[in-house]
Copies of this chain bind each other. A is one copy, B any other.
Amino acid sequence: MRLSAYFLPTLRENPKEAQIVSHRLMLRAGMIQQASAGIYSWLPLGYKVLRKIEQIVREEQDAAGAQEVLMPTIQSADLWRESGRYDDYGKEMLRIEDRHGRDMLYGPTNEELITDIFRTHVRSYKALPLMLYHIQWKFRDEVRPRFGVMRGREFLMKDNYSFDTDYQGAVDAYNRMFVSYLKTYARMGLSAIPMKADTGPIGGDLSHEFIVLADTGESGVFYDKAWENQDFANMDVNYADMSEVNGIVEKYTSLYAATDEKHDTENCSVAAADLKERRGIEVGQIFYFGTKYSAPLNAVVSTPEGEEVPVHMGSYGIGVSRLVGAIIEASHDEKGIVWPEQVAPFQVAVANLKADDEGCTSVSEDLYAKLSKAGIEALIDDRDERPGAKLANLDLIGVPWQILVGPRGLKSGVVEVKNRKTGAVEEMTPEAALNKFAS
């Protein structure tokens, strides 16, 4: 992509309305724009990152055996009356009346609707186990939306729902998702730690929330330092093998981790020397809630014994749009965003530091063309701007690698290759720079 043509409205000043760093940096990097309170438009750079995160979530859901559907944003109130949640949900639910005076709502979650789909088509244990997920926009009418996409009103969520004949099957599904979440977050370059959680308005009696470590996080967390040396991103899991899956769950549920609300230093299972305290951000939560929805909605299956039983369910959420903010909270410095390579909007940025110099332009354009041809997502700053402004801008938007093409270096036949995270700069020929990325 050419920066001269790219719609990337970066800001030099810190926007006053942004109280936390991810919100500030997303506005400054031209990733989002507020449409109204707690509701954002995603501009090209932001949307590119959002889609990368979404795709990692999708791939790991598919790998764990879940099937993708898409439920609509607008739901009928009738189903929520059946489950009893229509009145319970309070003012966070955006209630709507259509032209015929029917009560509708913008879905804040989808337990009712997915249970309706299930009960329409499934009658027998033979169709189970089943996990259906979707990645869809939700709406929660927060009193005071703030912190940008971290607590917006319209937000993108992956929610998965599992259906099993009995408790044991449901726990298997829960454990598959537990393992899949470890891998999902790690693939985005995050350290996410599962912690026992209360179930809140979803209900149920088994729940974990996944918390990403970030110094700017909203809540305190305590954990065994062994959490820091796990390579979940490259974990090879056979989800069909429940003893393997359960083994992973057992291993990691016995490794200590707790939010500050639940932590008790006096009585915790980990030695003081191994206990770490940091801050974190919740980026997902998984629930087993049994027959809480299937019983009132009459979603029953016949067992092998011919009995009819309400199906056992769980739900598994990931805050997809929230993750964009969470990743920035976990990975930034005073200059701007530092994207983990896995979710970076571009892999490499080529900066032509002197756009009116023929040599710089020809080397930059050649590098950009060859990187693009090799299938690398490359950005070229081909604008007529001061070098300082270009460098600051690239640091702000956080592309992992920068190739800086300036007249001084070219005299010695080299360009500079800079790592955004470490700041380390290496001089090399343009060919060597190309080979570093397009090998």
List A residues at the B interface (Cβ < 8 Å).
5-7, 9, 30, 33, 35-36, 39-44, 47-48, 50, 65, 67-76, 78, 91-92, 94, 96, 98-99, 102, 104, 106, 113, 116-117, 120-122, 127, 130, 132, 137, 139, 141, 143, 153-154
Residues of B within 8 A of A44 (CB): 67-69, 132
Contact A154 B98 (CB under 8 A): no
What would 5 A/B residue contacts be, using CB atoms closer than 8 Å?
A5-B65, A35-B75, A39-B72, A39-B74, A48-B68
Residues of B within 8 A of A78 (CB): 36
A67-B6 contact, Cβ under 8 Å, with A35-B72, A35-B75: yes
A76-B36 contact, Cβ under 8 Å, with A98-B94, A143-B99: yes
Q: From A33, which residue of chain B is reached at the shortest CB distance?
A: B117
When A and B form their complex, which 4 residue pairs have the shortest distance between CB atoms, in order from nearest?
A9-B121, A36-B76, A42-B70, A91-B99
Q: From A7, which residue of chain B is reached at the shortest CB distance?
A: B67
**What's the Cα separation between A74 and B153 when bound, in Å?**
10
Contact partner of A36 (CB less than 8 A), chosen from B36, B75, B121, B141, is B75
A47-B70 contact, Cβ under 8 Å, with A96-B94, A98-B94, A99-B91: yes
Interface secondary structure of A, over-half rule:
mixed
A117-B74 contact, Cβ under 8 Å, with A104-B36, A143-B99: no
Q: From A1, which residue of chain B is reached at the shortest CB distance?
A: B67
**What's the Cα separation between A43 and B6 when bound, in Å?**
36
Contact partner of A41 (CB less than 8 A), chosen from B5, B36, B70, is B70
Residues of B within 8 A of A5 (CB): 65
A76-B121 contact, Cβ under 8 Å, with A7-B130, A98-B141: no
Contact A41 B72 (CB under 8 A): yes
Residues of B within 8 A of A35 (CB): 71-72, 75-76, 113, 116
Q: From A50, which residue of chain B is reached at the shortest CB distance?
A: B70
Residues of B within 8 A of A139 (CB): 74
Contact B41 A154 (CB under 8 A): no
Known pairs A36-B104, A98-B141. 15 more at Cβ < 8 A? A5-B65, A7-B127, A7-B132, A9-B120, A33-B120, A35-B71, A35-B116, A41-B72, A44-B132, A47-B68, A72-B137, A74-B139, A74-B153, A92-B99, A99-B141
Q: From A39, which residue of chain B is reached at the shortest CB distance?
A: B72
**What's the Cα separation between A127 and B30 when bound, in Å?**
15
- Chain B nearest CB from A64 CB (Å) reads 13
Contact B72 A43 (CB under 8 A): no
**What's the Cα separation between A106 and B104 when bound, in Å?**
12
Residues of B within 8 A of A153 (CB): 74
Contact A137 B7 (CB under 8 A): no
Contact B41 A71 (CB under 8 A): yes
Residues of B within 8 A of A70 (CB): 41-42, 47, 50
Residues of B within 8 A of A104 (CB): 36
